[in-house]
Amino acid sequence: MLIKIHKGWELPESAATPEDVFLNRRNLIKGLAAGTILAGLGSLARPAHAEVPWADAQREDPSFHLYPVARNLRYRVERDITDEETNGKYNNFYEYGSHKEIWRSAQKLKVRPWEIRIEGMVEKEFTIGIDDLLAKVTLEERVYRHRCVEAWSMIAPWTGFPLKALVDLAKPLGGAKYVKMATFNKPEMAPGLRQFWYPWPYIEGLTIEEATNDLAFMVTGAYGKPLAKQHGAPLRLAVPWKYGFKSVKSIDTFTFTDQRPTTFWEEVQGREYGFWANVNPEVDHPRWSQATERVLGSNDRIPTQPFNGYGEFVAQLYNGMDGEKLYM
């Protein structure tokens, strides 16, 4: 007899929101977004003054009608979701500055037209527009932990699709071992790209095994709306078992290769930042402890978990790699 062992992020089917309830909720949210006032909402109604400052830009996004989507209840966390505005006003996006309050500058990012190049060791190289890509995938919402290498964390409700879906679309050749991802490189749109001492464009990479893991996620939205520009619209990565700098933003190129790419922060400061960057509270950053993390939007400091709490799902990816610096 086959016995299914449920993963730690999974909920029993009986706990999932019934489809009719979800659809009613979806219609409710869309009504609120359009300014509809419904009687009897109580605490469900978001006060008008709570609308985020970048909401107009999200409404103008051509993909706005695709959101919100169903939340995949197999992905859960034990903490509250970080407030949308708190999350959106505390960002790392060096293309727009090295401080955390880059959200205003990031509104200069033009997310249409946006083309994504698939190249390297694939059956056939091609370019696809973001809206054409969205038409080929099924969107879902996942609530993920996010742990920054700077020892702070948040909980984000990302919308997107598994990175594996993009890998399958690319049809990599058998010899491809890595996926190299690059952010846009247009200085006229992002003043930080004029800082010649940085090795632009921002490069990140994963092994094919990491890229096709269940948790690896391509993000196109958050908080039930298209992705805010400061979060890396229109397409970013989320790999929640790794430090946040691995989750590259505003991607426009995927290169499949048999050579491990040198990533942005490896090139900038290789003694402190490596290719793997898996979260580990027992391996300190050279300049600070990684044992605990500050919860964004609060005064709380909590213990950090190995692999950011996702160890049982990804630890096997690193078996036999004792010689690698897996945690920096």
Q: What integer is the mean pLDDT of 271-281?
A: 98
Token match 């996926």: residue? 179
The CA-based angle 184-190-273, given to 5 degrees, is 65
Residue at 306 is within a domain:
yes
Of 258, 242, 265, the residue nearest 145 (C-alpha): 242
102 within 8 A of 93, measured Cβ to Cβ: yes
Give the Cα separation of 256 and 27 in Å (integer).
40
Q: Give me the pLDDT at residue 50, please.
A: 75
pLDDT of 276 higher than 70 = yes
The tally of domains found in the chain comes to 1
Does residue 84 sit within a domain? yes
Residue 141 inside a domain? The answer is yes
* 5 found inside a domain: no
Please determine, for residue 21, whether its predicted confidence score (pLDDT) is greater than 50.
Answer: no
**CB of 138 closer than 8 Å to CB of 261:** no
Q: Which residues, including other chains, have CB under 8 Å from residue 180's CB and lie 6 or more apart? A: 120, 203, 204, 205, 253, 254, 255, 256, 257, 261
Distances (CA, A) of 276 to 205, 242, 268, 279, 327: 9, 8, 15, 9, 6
What is the maximal distance between C-alpha atoms in the chain?
62
The reply to whether 1 falls in a domain is no
Alpha carbons 136 and 268: distance in angstroms, whole number: 36
What tens digit of pLDDT does each residue of 117-170 get?
999 999 999 999 999 999 999 999 999 999 999 999 999 999 999 999 999 999
Alpha-carbon span 22 to 39, nearest angstrom: 19
| Torsions phi, psi for 321 (to 5 deg) | -110, 40
Residue 124, domain extent: 13-33+42-318
DSSP state of 253: E
Report the alpha-carbon distance of residue 232 to residue 236 in Å, rounded: 6
Examine residue 161 and state whether it is found in any structural domain, yes or no.
yes
Phi, psi (rounded to 5 degrees) for 206: -135, 155
In a domain, 75, yes or no: yes
Q: What is the pLDDT of residues 23-58, one digit of tens each?
A: 444 444 444 444 333 233 332 333 344 799 999 999
Tokens of 30: 């869309």
The rounded Cα 178 to chain-centroid distance in angstroms is 19
Which H or E element spans position 314? helix 311-314
**What tens digit of pLDDT does each residue of 170-179 get?**
999 999 999 9
Residue from 220, 85, 250, 213 nearest 158 by CA: 220
Query: Percent of the chain having pLDDT more than 70?
Result: 85
pLDDT (mean) for 268-277: 97
Nearest by Cα to 244 from 308, 292, 189, 291: 308
What angle is formed at CA 71 by the lines to CA 3 and CA 30, rounded to 5 degrees?
Answer: 155
CA 161 to chain centre: 10
Flag whether 324 is in a domain: no
Tally Cβ neighbours within 10 Å of residue 15: 9
Residue 149's CB is within 10 A of a number of other CB atoms, namely: 20
Quick one: pLDDT at residue 96?
A: 97
The strand order across the sheet containing 203-207 reads 126-129, 115-120, 251-257, 178-183, 203-207
Residue 215 belongs to domain with CATH number: 3.90.420.10
Find, among 217, 101, 107, the residue nearest to 157 by Cα. Answer: 217
